[in-house]
Amino acid sequence: MKYKDYYDVMGVSRDASQDEIKKAYRKLARKYHPDVSESDDAGERFKELGEAYAVLKDPEKREAYDQLGSDWQAGQEFRPPPGWQESAGFGGAAGGQREHYSDFFEDLFGGGFSSQGRAGGFRGNFQADGQDQQARILIDIGDSYHGATRSLQLQVPEIGDDGRVYNRQRTLNVKIPRGIKAGQQIRLKGQGGPGLGDGRSGDLYLEVGFRPDDHFRVEGRDVYLTLPVTPWEAGLGGKVNVPVPSGDIDLSIPANSGQGRKLRVRGKGLPGREAGDLFVILDVICPPADSEAARRIYGEMRDELGFDPRSGMRRS
C-alpha cells in the first residue's frame, strides 16, 4: 500500500481548518468532475480528491491519518499502525480488509458509483454544493432612505445537458433594505453558482455602493450637502427650505454665517438603529451684476458698508 499525502491532493496545509478543507474540496470537485472537465485524467483526479476529502472531512479519520506522521512521503510503502483499518474506516466485511485507499471513495458516495463515465471516468451519486458568488450593485442614496426594489442583470455560469459550462443572463429583483450603507452586503440565498447532482446552489452576495450624486455624499451613515445660499441669507440669517432624500426640511441659518460654515441636523442622515446626521455646508453665491439695478445695489453696498475682506492681509 502506498502512502498518499491527502493534504497535498487537496492543496491545503496540514493545519488547515475544516472550513478550509471543505472550500478546497468544492473548488477542486467542480474542476475535475468527469462530466465537466476536459482533462484526460479528470476521473482519476476526481476519485483521488474524493478519497482524500472522505478522510480529512472526518475529524476521527483525519486524526488517525495524521498518526502516520510527517516522515511518510508520497509513494513510500508502509504498514498501517494497529487499529488503523478500523479507526480510519478502511475495514471491509468481517474477516477481511480492503486493499486500497480508494475504498474510501465508496464510503463517500454510499457505495453507489459505477465506471460508466466518459474518458474512463464514472458517474454516480455524486453531489457538490455550488460556489458562493459576489457582485457589486450601485444604488441611489434615496434607496437607502426609503428602501427599494431594483432589477439586476447578471451573467452566470450554468452547466448544460452536455456537461459544458455556458453563461446565461439572469434578471434578479433585489430588495434594498432601508438604511443600508455602502460596503454592506445583500445575501441572495441560492442565487450563486449551481450545484452538481443534488447539491444546493451557492449564495450570491451583493456589495452595495452609492452612485455619484450631484449634491449629496455619504460617509458611513452621515450625509453631506453643499447648500447654495445668497449673501443676505448668510448675513441676515433665517430659515431656508432644503430638499433632502428623507423629505424637505426647514434649515435655520444663523446670522453672520460665512462661506463654508457647517451646520448639523441630527438624525437626518441614513436611517438605522442609530440614524446618521445631515451636515450642511454653506456655499455663499453672489448674484451677477448683469443689470443696471444690480450694479446700482452693488455700488450702494460698496459705499455704505465700507467692507474690506483683505484688511487683515495688509502689513503695518
Q: Nearest-CA neighbor of 89 among 66, 114, 55, 56?
A: 55
The answer to whether position 204 is within a domain reads: yes
Tens of pLDDT along 140-185?
A: 999 999 999 988 887 766 666 665 666 778 888 899 999 999 999 9
Q: What's the number of domains the chain is made of?
A: 3
For residues 206 and 137, state if they share a domain. yes
- Pair 20, 98 in one domain: yes
Within-domain flag for 314: no
> Is the domain of 11 the same as that of 113?
yes
Specify whether the CB–CB gap between 178 and 147 falls below 8 A.
Answer: yes
pLDDT (0 to 100) of residue 29: 84
- Together in a domain, 203 and 100: no
Per-residue pLDDT at 302 exceeds 80? yes
Q: How far is CA 209 from the centre of its chain?
A: 12
pLDDT greater than 70 at residue 279: yes
Domain-ending residue, one of 94, 120, 146: 120
Q: pLDDT band at residue 67, thresholds of 50, 70 and 90?
A: low
Residue owning grid cell 451519486 = 125
Report the amino acid identity of residue 107: D
User: And the C-alpha cell for 202?
Assistant: 451557492
Mean pLDDT of the chain: 78
On whether both 22 and 109 belong to a single domain, the answer is yes
Is residue 209 over pLDDT 50?
Answer: yes
Cα separation, 197 vs 12, in Å, equals: 25
Task: Please state, in angstroms and rounded to a whole number, the distance separating the CA atoms of residues 19 and 197.
Answer: 21
- pLDDT tens-place string over residues 16-52: 888 899 899 888 888 887 767 777 777 888 888 888 8
Does one domain contain both 261 and 183? no
pLDDT reading at 120 higher than 50: no
Residue 75 pLDDT greater than 80, yes or no:
no
At 56, the amino acid letter reads L
Model confidence at 197: pLDDT above 60: yes
State the pLDDT confidence band at 249, using cuts at 50, 70 and 90: very high
Q: Residues 161, 80: one domain?
A: no
Q: Which domain holds residue 189?
A: 133-210
Whether the predicted pLDDT of 238 surpasses 90: yes
Clarify whether residues 185 and 200 are in a common domain: yes
pLDDT: which is higher, 258 or 199: 258
**Residue 22: all three cell numbers together:** 471543505
Here the CATH number for the domain that contains residue 87 is: 1.10.287.110
Q: Is 313 contained in some domain?
A: no
Task: Compute the distance between CA of residue 45 and CA of residue 310 in angstroms, rounded to an integer.
Answer: 80
Please report, for the domain that includes residue 277, its CATH number.
2.60.260.20
Domain end, chosen from 95, 120, 145, is at 120
Task: Tell whether 316 is covered by a domain.
Answer: no
For residue 188, being part of any structural domain is answered with yes
Do residues 166 and 100 share a domain?
no
Q: How confident is the model at residue 134 (pLDDT cuts 50, 70, 90)?
A: confident
User: What SS3 state is found at 171?
Assistant: strand
CB 205 within 8 A of CB 133: yes
The answer to whether residues 201 and 239 belong to one domain is no
Give the pTM. Answer: 0.55
Is residue 263 very low, low, confident or very high in pLDDT (cuts 50, 70, 90)? very high
| Region for 168 from its dihedrals, namely left if φ exceeds 0, alpha if ψ lies in -120 to 50, beta otherwise | beta
pLDDT in tens, 94-117: 333 333 434 433 443 334 333 333
The residue among 120, 151, 174 that closes a domain is 120
What's the pLDDT score for residue 118?
A: 35
Does residue 82 share a domain with residue 62?
yes
Query: Of 260, 249, 253, whose CA–CA distance to 239 is shortest?
Result: 253
Q: Does residue 139 share a domain with residue 100?
A: no
